Amino acid sequence: MAKGKKSPPDLNSGQGGKDYSKYFDFSDAKIISEQEGKTTYRIKGRNVQINSQPDYREGKRRGKEEIEVLYHFEILPEMEHFGCGKFYHITTYGCQMNEHDTETMKGMLEQMGYQATPDRNNADIILLNTCAIRENAEDKVFGELGHLKSLKLEKPGLLLGICGCMSQEEGVVNRIMTRYGFVDMIFGTHNIHRLPELIKEAVFSRELVIEVWSKEGDIIENLPKKREGLRAWVNIMYGCDKFCTYCIVPFTRGKERSRRPEDVIAEVRELARQGFKEVTLLGQNVNAYGKDFTDIDYTFGDLMDDMRGIDIPRIRFMTAHPRDFDDKLIHVLGKGGNLVEHIHLPVQSGSTAVLKKMSRKYTREAYLELVRKIKAGVPDAVLTTDIIVGFPGETEEQFEETLSLVREVGYDMAYTFIYSAREGTPAAAMEDNVPAEVKSARLQRLNDLIKEQSRLGNERMLGKVAEVLVEGESKNNSNVLAGRTRDSKLVHFEGPASLVGTMVQVRITDTKTWYIKGDYLAEAAAVL
């Protein structure tokens, strides 16, 4: 049995782990069968097969178990053609990590013979790949489940699965069990590679299958992926050990574990061979990469230096933590080449007191010093960030500190959020004493400032020539193409559709708040 899997507890006795009778509050639950570490219960007239269950306490433990790297992945022989003539639909919520997980699930489904469909009414299997970082992200999923109930009634053979970060939450599994009994599968972030087996179990047993590993499993290499477009995401590490008090990610994604550098480099080289123009290296705390290696001294800075030698036009990364942004990484990024100037550096708050309550483990002064180092070492660096307003206890003075830090750094863009408590995190136990109307007003003031800085950042581009990766036609005008600069600014310009997928030179002629306009320089493109 792979690490992370464990036998479910005895529902009736509560021995061996969490007491499921209290957890799901099903007093009439009866054990139907127990075999191969799986227990089937009869609950409210439906059979439920529990392979493993979410457990915050288990997920928080950071044991010293070795994480194996497994290179042999195969679809079960009996499932290789199971999806032939059938269609799948996946809705993805949340971050790039979730998007990448969706690419993996698409790859496995298509190896099983399934075909993608944009219309969920035609689908034979629907998966909701969920996000748990904000309360409104969860609300969207539950709203979608409500819409899917009628479709499930119309098509009883439809297989409906919930996966991703929400599945790792104890309360979410409880809610799905009690209110959305038409769901067929619930699985987590650590066992995505088990999708073919879970489909088999759900279909042939006709039971709700729950398999959520609270402790992370091994690193599975060579999983099939279906990538589309010009840009590719590459996971270089999984999990997070920071335990910021507001964040659920360390529970839903597990402890930090890095892929071997040779595997990452081989994957990026293959993407270059396939013609991808841009690669984003992903990790919940991407610049902690390599810190868990015990046999080699190889950090994120080393990996980025090796990326410079790969023939691919652009390399990005997300998301960096200020504590792990060291001088070596700044030195490597300063070499330029295919390493872009855009750096996403979440600050969350400009107040040292609030940062301490968040357990960010840096001060306002340390963050600003890091920004100064980056701007000195990386020519034309463009910074973006994440900011939370209305954290428990945040005063008006502390919020003003955030505004002043935003002005001092000069971010070109920021993802801004109103604080919402996440069950199971330390901050959820804090008194949420900032009134909702105050939170909303602060968010509006912050967003107004960010808009102004974005506009000023765009205006600095006027008259300059920018390298643009052309991604497609504008949604509103087929004669207008849209693409992004190295520092991730959106550019609109007129040009032939044949330019889609290429790098072109565009002279910037007009600026808006969130995008810029320009003229395509055909002669410059010909020279390139």
Query: In this predicted structure, what is the pLDDT of residue 13?
Result: 32
**In the chain, how many H helices and how many E strands?**
15, 24
Q: Which of 209-223, 297-311, 384-398, 476-490 has the lowest mean pLDDT?
A: 209-223
Cα–Cα distance measured from residue 462 to residue 17, given in angstroms and rounded to the nearest whole number: 62
Q: With contact defined as beta carbons under 8 Å apart, do 211 and 188 qualify? A: yes
3-state DSSP assignment of residue 368: helix
CA 167 to chain centre: 14
CA atoms within 13 A on the CB side of 148: 30
In sequence order, which ranges of 229-260 are alpha helices (DSSP H)? 249-253
Q: With contact defined as beta carbons under 8 Å apart, do 524 and 505 qualify? A: yes
Sign (positive or negative) of CA dihedral 128, 132, 133, 138: positive
Token pair 């690490």: residue: 3
Determine phi and psi for 230, rounding to 5 degrees.
-100, -15
According to the per-residue pLDDT averaged within each range, which of 29-38, 204-213, 328-337 is highest? Answer: 328-337
Mean pLDDT of 475-483: 88
Q: What is the residue-averaged pLDDT of the chain?
A: 88
On the question of pLDDT at 226 being above 70, the answer is yes
Tens of pLDDT, residues 247-256: 988 888 888 9
436-459 vs 396-409: helix crossing angle, rounded to 10: 10
Encoded tokens for 470: 């052309």
Is the model more confident about 34 or about 77? 77
Is the model more confident about 253 or about 23? 253
Query: In this predicted structure, what is the pLDDT of residue 1?
Result: 35
- Enter the pTM of the model: 0.84
Encoded tokens for 287: 């610049």
Helix (H) or strand (E) holding 209: strand 208-211
Encoded tokens for 170: 């104890």
Cα–Cα distance measured from residue 345 to residue 385, given in angstroms and rounded to the nearest whole number: 5
On the question of pLDDT at 528 being above 70, the answer is no
3-state DSSP assignment of residue 363: coil
Tens of pLDDT, residues 397-429: 999 999 999 999 999 999 999 998 988 899 999
3-state DSSP assignment of residue 417: strand
Spell out a b/e string for 310-329, using b for 16 or more CB atoms within 10 Å of the CB, else e. eebbbbbbbbbbbbbbeeeb
On the question of pLDDT at 518 being above 80, the answer is yes
DSSP 149-205: HHHHHH-TT-EEEEEEGGGG-HHHHHHHHHH-TT--EEE-SS-GGGHHHHHHHHHHH
Closest CA to 419 of 398, 406, 401, 434: 434
Cα–Cα distance measured from residue 162 to residue 171, given in angstroms and rounded to the nearest whole number: 14
Query: In this predicted structure, what is the pLDDT of residue 176?
Result: 85
On the question of pLDDT at 304 being above 70, the answer is yes
Cα–Cα distance measured from residue 82 to residue 425, given in angstroms and rounded to the nearest whole number: 41
CA 254 to chain centre: 13
Closest CA to 315 of 361, 281, 359: 281
Query: In this predicted structure, what is the pLDDT of residue 14?
Result: 33
